[in-house]
Every structure is written in C-alpha cells, then in structure tokens.
Amino acid sequence: MNIENLSFENKTGIITGAARGIGKAIAAQFVNMGGRAVIVDVNEEQAKETAQELGNAVAYAVDLGDTDAVKTVFNQIIADMGKVDVLINNAGIVNTTEFGELTLEEWDKVLAVDLTAPFLTCQILFNHMKDNGGGRIVNIASVAGKVGGGFLGTAAYGAAKAGLISLTKSVAKAGSAYNVYCNSLCPSYTKTPMVTILQGEREAKVLDQINLHRPASPDEMANSILFLASDAASFVQGENLNCDGGLLMNG
Ligand SMILES: NC(=O)c1ccc[n+]([C@@H]2O[C@H](COP(=O)([O-])OP(=O)(O)OC[C@H]3O[C@@H](n4cnc5c(N)ncnc54)[C@H](O)[C@@H]3O)[C@@H](O)[C@H]2O)c1
C-alpha cells in the first residue's frame, strides 16, 4: 500500500483511552478512513458518547489497572469482533509526585495502567494476530520515557513509558515471523484534558523547549500514529517515532 491509498477499509481497530483526547482523535480518523473502532475506556459514559458520535464504533468499559478485567474484556472483544487488525495502546495516566515523596502505591498504579495493561493487551492481540495472518500494534509512550520524566509525569510515568518503548521492541521481535508489527510513538505536549494544568508561565516554559514553540493538536498525533498502524508502514518494525515538535530530535 502506498501512502496515497491509506485506508482502514474492512479493518477493526481497538484503541484504548479513546473516549477523549489523543485516543478520540485516533478513533475518529480510523473511522473516517473506513475502519471500525473499538473504544476501550474506564469512562463508560464518555466512551459510549464518543462511539455514538463517531458512528462505526463500539465502546467497552474497563479499568486497565485491573488485570483480570483486562483479560476478560479483551478476549470478549475478540470473540465479538471475530478478527481484530489493529491495536493502539493509547490510554495512560500521569503522576506528578516528586521522586522523594513518590509512594509505592502511586508507582504501582501508574505502572499497572501505563505498562502492565499494554503488556497484557499486546500479548492477547499478538496471539490473535499470529493466528489470523498478522496485524499492527502501536504503543503510545512519551518523551518522558526517554528523559527520566516529562513536563508533568515524574519517575513512575517516565519508567512506565521507557518500559513501553522496550516492550514494543520485544513484541516486534516476536511478531516479525507472523506479520505482526509493533511500533511506538512519543508525543510531547499535546492539547488534551490530561495537560490542562499546564497554564501561563508553566506552559510558556514547556513551549520554550519545543522547537516548533507550540503544542500539538490530538489530530497531529493521530496522523503519525495511524501511519504506523497502516500497511504504508510495511518496513517499519520495532521503531519509536518522536512526534514532539523537535523537542528531542532523535534523542
Ligand atoms: N497530552 C500530552 O501532552 C501527552 C504527552 C506525552 C504522552 N501522552 C500520552 O498520550 C496518551 C493519551 O494521552 P491524552 O493526553 O489523550 O490523555 P487524556 O487524559 O486526555 O485521555 C486519556 C484517556 O484514557 C482513559 N483512561 C485513563 N485511565 C484509564 C484506565 N485505568 N483504564 C481505561 N482507560 C483509562 C481516560 O478515561 C481518557 O479517556 C497517554 O498514554 C499519554 O501518556 C500525552
């Protein structure tokens, strides 16, 4: 497939955290390009509203921090859909506690949602895709995972996202023999509900570090994420793409 033919016609894609923010933008574009979006989110009401708004979409409610529930719901989605072609692990939570005060409970909570859940979903979908001729997985990490924490997320967030970048490579190594692709993407500052507390002077400081001197829109993230989720990225495997306005420049 060439980039001008980018399409998700007849494809089903699971997008976690798609009730709002970057995930919603991914789901909207996925549907606009002919795909069927499966929205997985802890916020049941907003997930249902988004699914209704997008049209060719369904919503499943699950707390990704609950490992048993993740296994149950993802196996249910596969049973309901028959075949899943794309998985985008987008859901994430931040923790802003300074390192000296970070509690084990906070650490565990962030690791559960941002790293353990993607491990489980990658494994479930890897086995499904392996049996179905292949598929594409994209994990949404963060520049925080490359520099020991970001503008908001501190040690737990940075460690979880660093782990996700490495997990991506492990899945890619296991997947190549079965036409299963796995890549990751690192956003920097993107205007979503997650980062509304970055205001005024605090926001100016962040924008100063971004070479393009502006935040990204969720749609700008979705553009790059859906490239990685598409057959146009057929020679991109285990890669991490910084979509960060020139913050790290290959760092
Ligand atoms: N916005 C940014 O500046 C930025 C920067 C770097 C990385 N990211 C990453 O991009 C991804 C999307 O971020 P966003 O800004 O759209 O966030 P957001 O907070 O706006 O949306 C996150 C979505 O995930 C869902 N979610 C949260 N916890 C969940 C759980 N336990 N189970 C199921 N669903 C859950 C929320 O309900 C929400 O719909 C995240 O992984 C985030 O770490 C964002």
Q: What is the pLDDT of residues 30-75, one digit of tens each?
A: 999 999 999 999 999 999 999 999 999 999 999 999 999 999 999 9
224 lines ligand 1 (CB under 6 A): no
**For residues 13-19, average pLDDT:** 99
Atom from ligand 1 closest to the CA of residue 23? 16
Give the strand pairing for 12-16 and 240-243: unpaired
pLDDT at 114: 98
Q: Active-site positions?
A: 157
Q: How far is CA 160 from CA 27, 145, 250, in A?
A: 24, 7, 20
State the average pLDDT for the chain.
97
Pair of tokens at residue 198 = 């970055």
Q: How many residues does the chain have?
A: 251
Q: Which helix (H) or strand (E) element contains residue 87? A: strand 86-89
- pTM to 2 decimal places: 0.98
Question: Ligand 1 centre from 250 Cα, in Å?
Answer: 23
Question: Ligand 1 centre from 33 Cα, in Å?
Answer: 23
Confidence band for 151, pLDDT divided at 50, 70 and 90: confident
**For residues 107-114, average pLDDT:** 98
Q: Is 220 exposed, middle or buried (0-12, 13-18, 19+ CB in 10 A)?
A: middle
- Domains of the chain and any CATH numbers: 3-240 (3.40.50.720)
Angle formed at CA 222 by CA 219 and CA 223, multiple of 5 degrees: 90
Task: Find out whether 173 and 119 touch, Cβ atoms under 8 Å.
Answer: no
Q: Which helix (H) or strand (E) element contains residue 48? A: helix 44-54
42 lines ligand 1 (CB under 6 A): yes
Task: Find out whether 177 and 170 touch, Cβ atoms under 8 Å.
Answer: no
